[in-house]
């Protein structure tokens, strides 16, 4: 898809403050065990744990097989969930829908991951440009997604398409 998105593509049914919606801690997994294993395997295959990692829209679990050698920064909406992440060396509470600018220096991470959350971003292009900015040369950005979501918080464009369409959106 081009940079031109249809009108209303990034609108959401629930336009309320995300801090209210994500305020109560949800110490649950949002994908099943098979999907978690596939994400972990993908991270290992791409060498994600072998450097400094930024986990965007993180939670109490990052689906990594081990603590990243350069440390893990977990950025998300819920401080309780982020502090419960056993792999996180640093937690940053930030609503990327309000402020898509990442509070890190250029080329400061070897990998940026975002698991099952890309569908909630109302400014995904800006967030991914920021991910590119904070990524070191040769680093990887890994976006994983599923057919599960909070439909009132997912953007309309995501909900209006099928799995192939979602791949195209992310691409």
Taking only the tens place, the pLDDT of each residue in 110-147 is 999 999 888 878 899 899 999 999 999 999 999 998 77
Task: List, in order, residues 6 or more apart from 63 with CB less than 8 Å away.
Answer: 36, 39, 40, 43, 115
State the pTM of this model.
Answer: 0.86
DSSP state of 18: H
Apex CA 121: angle with CA 120 and CA 122, to 5°?
115
11: closest CA among 156, 127, 151, 124? 156
Residue 2, pLDDT score: 44
């Amino acid at each position: 898809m081009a940079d031109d998105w249809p009108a209303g593509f990034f609108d959401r049914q629930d336009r309320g403050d995300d801090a209210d919606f994500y305020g109560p801690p949800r110490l649950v997994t949002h994908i099943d065990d098979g999907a978690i294993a596939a994400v972990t395997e993908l991270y290992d295959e791409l060498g994600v744990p072998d450097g400094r990692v930024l986990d965007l829209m993180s939670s109490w679990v990052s689906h990594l097989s081990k603590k990243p050698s350069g440390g893990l920064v977990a950025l998300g909406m819920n401080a309780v969930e982020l502090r419960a992440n056993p792999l996180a060396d640093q937690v940053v509470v930030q609503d990327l829908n309000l402020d898509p600018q990442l509070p890190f220096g250029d080329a400061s991470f070897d990998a940026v991951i975002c698991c099952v959350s890309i569908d909630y971003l109302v400014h995904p292009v800006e967030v991914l440009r920021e991910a590119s900015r904070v990524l070191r040369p040769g680093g990887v950005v890994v976006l994983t997604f599923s057919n599960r979501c909070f439909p009132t918080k997912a953007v309309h464009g995501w909900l209006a398409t099928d799995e192939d369409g979602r791949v195209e959106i992310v691409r």
